[in-house]
Amino acid sequence: MRKSGDEMSITNRQEQILELLRENSFMTVEKLSELTYTSASSVRRDLTQLENMYLIKRTHGGASVLNEINGAAPLDSRMKENVSAKRKIAKKASVLLKDGASIMLDGSTTAGFLIPYIAKLDNITLFTNNMITAINAINYGIETHCIGGKSVNNSAVLSGERSYKEISGIYPDILFFSSHGLTQKGEITDPTSEENYLRSLMIKNAEKTVFLCDSEKFGRKSLYTLCNVNDVDVCVFDDVWDKLEAKCEIL
């Protein structure tokens, strides 16, 4: 059964709990309750939701973040960056969503913020190479296909030869993707060659392409160039960039 509204979104208090766990490795429910000025029962509900999203691990009397327990980083650290900007971008981009669509989200956390809006639609088929995004979508009741592959830099994002092969056979109605940087000339760039190549395959196969970019990435250039903003159909930003040389539609 599909969840409604933002039931599975990360709230401000849950973000605070995640930050406290990252700083302290393990914390008890009582201590989290004290530091967040919240009842213990509310903290337990928050911890349950965060565990269902594979962000933390519940232990007796408290919780830890997954990367502290497993010695790895299953959750990309970018998840906690520029949250308000990513939410604003997702809300803007949601006007492009339609019932019955096949939707692809790349491995970026920015694209993952679209999940609550996608969940409001009917007859959606979702594809993504981000395991956290996939789990979140499944929790919402969305028909979800997680593209296989190997972990990129010990993160929840999958890429590599298996991913390339799977992507080559998928032709979604719309693709939402992000990247590490956007230059004034409209160049979309990224520091990871595997993710960059995988995105190029996604762009090639998608009927409509939507680039999501928060303003902190404006003027940033990384090693590998993906494409130019004029090669995509729509760009969605959280703020205006008057100096950007672009002819594509901008939301």
How do the domains of the chain map onto residue ranges?
12-71, 78-250
Cβ neighbours of 3 (radius 10 Å)? 16
pLDDT at position 197 is 92
Nearest alpha carbon to residue 217 among 194, 250, 186, 192 = 186
List the CATH code of the domain at 12-71.
1.10.10.10
Q: Which fold has domain 78-250?
A: Rossmann fold (3.40.50)
Asked if the domains at 12-71 and 78-250 fall in one CATH topology, the answer is no
Interval 174-206: pLDDT, tens? 999 999 899 999 999 988 888 889 999 999 999
pLDDT confidence bin for 6, thresholds 50/70/90: very low
**Residue 69 scores a pLDDT above 80:** no
Whether the Cβ atoms of residue 40 and residue 29 lie closer than 8 Å to each other:
yes
- State pTM to two decimals: 0.70
HEC assignment per residue over 161-191 = HHHHHHHCCCCCCEEEECCCEECCCCEEEEC
